A and B are shown apart, each in its own frame.
Chain A
């Protein structure tokens, strides 16, 4: 799971990809996930961090995180799809 390292993420949740010139908005939990992806955490690790911090069950988190990561792929923010 290689997130494009050039991507700038601001506290306000603004994501700018200087390679493509596209920009995005992300909610706070999304920012956390992107930061963890940058630290090369695996999906499993990310899920564990989130379950410790948020009031939700693992099924919901697992489903939502993989949906989010799929969107990052759709937007080409994740460069290749080597499983973590």
Chain B
């Protein structure tokens, strides 16, 4: 009989800029090695996953990372007392740092996770990407951190218009001239602070890889995908699993060199000479992970087994010729449910 495992999952915001939570849950529910029951962990009362009772047993609101890890730990302790969680899979970018910090404490309480180390988390930050590329011998677009538009003058001979203007944590905009750089600089720095990262604009097509590293340099899973349809805000609305060996080699190289621990998503650009450039590394499961599940690599299941310290075998193959097409869908919800999560923080 399959063991019963209770798993807390965040990122239930399955909206047009989706959090990965709901896709992760679908993978967990299809796991063959255990029978999952799901506890949703939400920040806002309108996250759709809260109301999906066929896949989420119960949801608890948790405090934003800005409240500090002490408060988060206090809330998780309360939830754990009621639910006896075995595993938590955090999926929300801004919370990863806090969960990585809390990993040893949660472990002592009996809640298991399989996260990147703090060093891995910080090394791959956007501001550190040039260093990262150099250290691990991975092609990255040229980029510089600037603290004012005037700073750009020092680097202007190294760049050609257009350039990509990026925030420390989020946001990326393309500037075709200095005026646009100024506008984007002001807007993004007002929201995310300094520095602003300016990056060489790479023409080409976008590829993503999701996978799992075991923390010792071995690849346990890797599925490359080419985005087929991209929304106005740059999210994949459709994508196809591909078997590009260059992409897989690059992924193995990345995992081997960094000894990556946990799930990740690589965002890459392939230029017309067929060369791949690494644009970003997300230290978590991506929202399109259900494609990986669909082609035979159940990444959420792997993460749970790794968190629990179970033996896992690398998954090296997948079914080619599968694609995902995302769709949106309206649920009808009674206001009483919204009332309950809004006033008690539980549903």
- Find out whether A and B make contact in their complex, taking CB atoms under 8 A apart as touching: yes
Closest A residue to B335 by beta carbon equals A16
A-B contact count (CB 8 A): 18
Q: Is B343 an interface residue (CB 8 A)?
A: yes
Check: A10 CB closer than 8 A to any chain B CB: yes
Q: Residues of B contacting A12 with CB < 8 Å?
A: 339-340, 343-344
Q: Does A25 touch B at the CB level, under 8 Å?
A: yes
Asked if B338 is an interface residue, CB under 8 A from chain A, the answer is yes
- Interface residue ranges of A14-29 to B (CB < 8 Å): 14, 16, 23, 25
With an 8 A cutoff between CB atoms, is B342 at the interface? yes
B343 to chain A, nearest CB (A): 4
- B335 neighbours in A (Cβ, 8 Å): 16, 23
Find chain B residues with CB under 8 A from A25 CB: 342-343
* Interface SS, B side: helix
Q: What's the tally of chain A residues with a CB closer than 8 Å to chain B?
A: 7
Residues of A within 8 A of B340 (CB): 12
B347 to chain A, nearest CB (A): 12
Question: How far does the Cβ of B342 sit from chain A's closest Cβ, in whole Å?
Answer: 6
User: CA of A13 to CA of B343 in the docked complex: distance in angstroms?
Assistant: 7
Q: Chain B residues near A23 (CB, 8 Å)?
A: 335, 338-339, 342
> Contacts of B344 on A, CB cut-off 8 Å?
12
B338 contacts which chain A residues (CB < 8 A)? 23
Closest beta carbon of chain A to B332's beta carbon, Å: 15
Residue interface bits B264-280, CB-to-A below 8 A is 1, else 0: 00000000000000000
The residue on B at minimum CB distance from A13 is B343
Give CA–CA (A47, B214) in the complex, Å: 66
- Return the CB mask of A16-60 against B: 1 if under 8 Å, else 0: 100000010100000000000000000000000000000000000
Complex CA gap A25/B344 in Å reads 11
* B251, chain A: closest CB distance, angstroms: 47
Residues of B within 8 A of A10 (CB): 339, 343
Most A Cβ at <10 Å: residue of B335, B339, B340, B342? B339
**Cα separation A71 to B285 with both chains bound (whole Å):** 44
Which of B338, B340, B343 has the most CB atoms of chain A within a 10 A radius of its CB?
B343
Chain A residue nearest to B344 (CB atoms) is A12
Q: What are 18 inter-chain pairs, A to B, with CB distance below 8 A?
A: A10-B339, A10-B343, A12-B339, A12-B340, A12-B343, A12-B344, A13-B343, A14-B339, A14-B342, A14-B343, A16-B335, A16-B339, A23-B335, A23-B338, A23-B339, A23-B342, A25-B342, A25-B343
Given A12-B343, A25-B342, 11 further pairs, Cβ under 8 A: A10-B339, A10-B343, A12-B340, A12-B344, A14-B339, A14-B342, A16-B339, A23-B335, A23-B338, A23-B342, A25-B343
| A residues lining the B interface (CB < 8 Å) | 10, 12-14, 16, 23, 25
**Cβ-closest 8 pairs across A and B:** A14-B339, A12-B343, A14-B343, A25-B343, A16-B335, A13-B343, A10-B339, A25-B342
